[in-house]
Amino acid sequence: MNHFILNTYEDISQRAAEIVMGQLRINPRLLLGAATGNSPSGLYARLADSARETPATFDALRVVKLDEWLGLRMDDPGSCEAYIRTRLLQPLRISDERFLTFQSDPADPGAECRAIQKTLETHGPIDVCILGIGTNGHIAFNEPAAALTAHAHVAALAKSSQSHSMVAGSGKHPVSGLTLGMADIFQSRMILLLISGASKRDVARRLLTREITTNLPASLLWLHPNAICLIDRDAYR
- Please give the positions annotated as active site: 67, 136, 138, 143
- What kind and span of H or E run contains 6? strand 2-6
Q: What is the number of other CB atoms lying within 10 angstroms of the CB of residue 230?
A: 25
Beta strand extents in 117-202 (DSSP E only): 128-131, 153-156, 176-179, 190-195
Three-class DSSP category at 146 = coil
Q: Could you give the CA distance from residue 6 to residue 68 in angstroms, rounded to a whole number?
A: 29
Residue type, 213: T
Q: What is the number of other CB atoms lying within 10 angstroms of the CB of residue 219?
A: 22
Per this entry, what is the length of the chain? 237
Q: Could you give the CA distance from residue 54 to residue 38 in angstroms, rounded to a whole number?
A: 25
CB of 226 within 8 A of CB of 190?
yes
R_g (Cα) of the chain, nearest Å:
16
